[in-house]
Amino acid sequence: MKKLSIATAAIGLTLLLAAGPVSAATKTHTAVEGDTFWKLSKKYNVNLTQLMKANAKINPLNIWAGMKITIPSTVHSSAAKKTNTASATTLKAQTVTAANGKIHTFSEQLQVKATAYSAAASENGKWGAVDYFGNPLKVGTIAVDPNVIPLGTQVYITGYDHNGLPIGGMVAKATDTGGAIKGNRIDIFVPGTSAQASNFGIQNVKVYILK
């Protein structure tokens, strides 16, 4: 019987090792006044995009005190990291030349629909003219769907036509979100009035995800 128990234990251990490392359990955070996904990503040292995906039903602009927020695990196997690294090294470098002659290296190109918004109070709610991270809105600020373009991503945009923006294209950063910004859609901050932003209309633009 003892030999049988040892053999059974050995088989169980072999199956456990074959299954790979066990991920750490997710945590639950009870929100307090002023919490944002960005603040929580820093507090718990988790990827902002993963955090938002884990809480896809929560409006990032409407986090209230007492709300339960899932904090995903940050444990990854070393094999997965090696695979990701190997995949990254196989990507071929792609470049786009800006109107000023500067060459930008990008990893992905998207065709999206763009609208524009201003610093007007009517467009920014109770938080005022600041982006998702609390920074003042400025030329180069864009609102995105974080599931398509992760927050914090630097991009190069071409194809727009608006007097308040750099001619030919511009480098921008995804630091804002919006309730209507879903899928392949961006909202570009433009200086001026709400009426001037409205004149931008809906334009088809190219977004290059910079490395």
Q: Where are the domains of the chain?
A: 24-73, 94-210
Based on its alpha-carbon atoms, the radius of gyration of the chain, rounded to whole angstroms, reads 22
Pick the CATH number of 94-210 from 2.40.40.10, 3.40.50.1820, 2.40.160.60, 3.90.800.10: 2.40.40.10
List, for residues 141-154, the tens digit of each pLDDT value.
999 999 999 999 99
Class in CATH terms, 24-73 = alpha beta
Domains 24-73 and 94-210 share a fold: no
Kindly state the percentage of the chain with pLDDT values over 70.
79
Q: What is the pLDDT of residue 38?
A: 82
Torsion sign across C-alpha atoms 123, 149, 62, 38: negative
Helices (H) and strands (E) in the chain, counts: 6, 9
List, for residues 117-131, the tens digit of each pLDDT value.
999 988 987 888 999
For residues 114 and 91, what is the distance between their CA atoms, to the nearest angstrom?
Answer: 28
What's the whole-model pTM score?
Answer: 0.62
Q: Mean pLDDT across the chain, nearest whole number?
A: 82
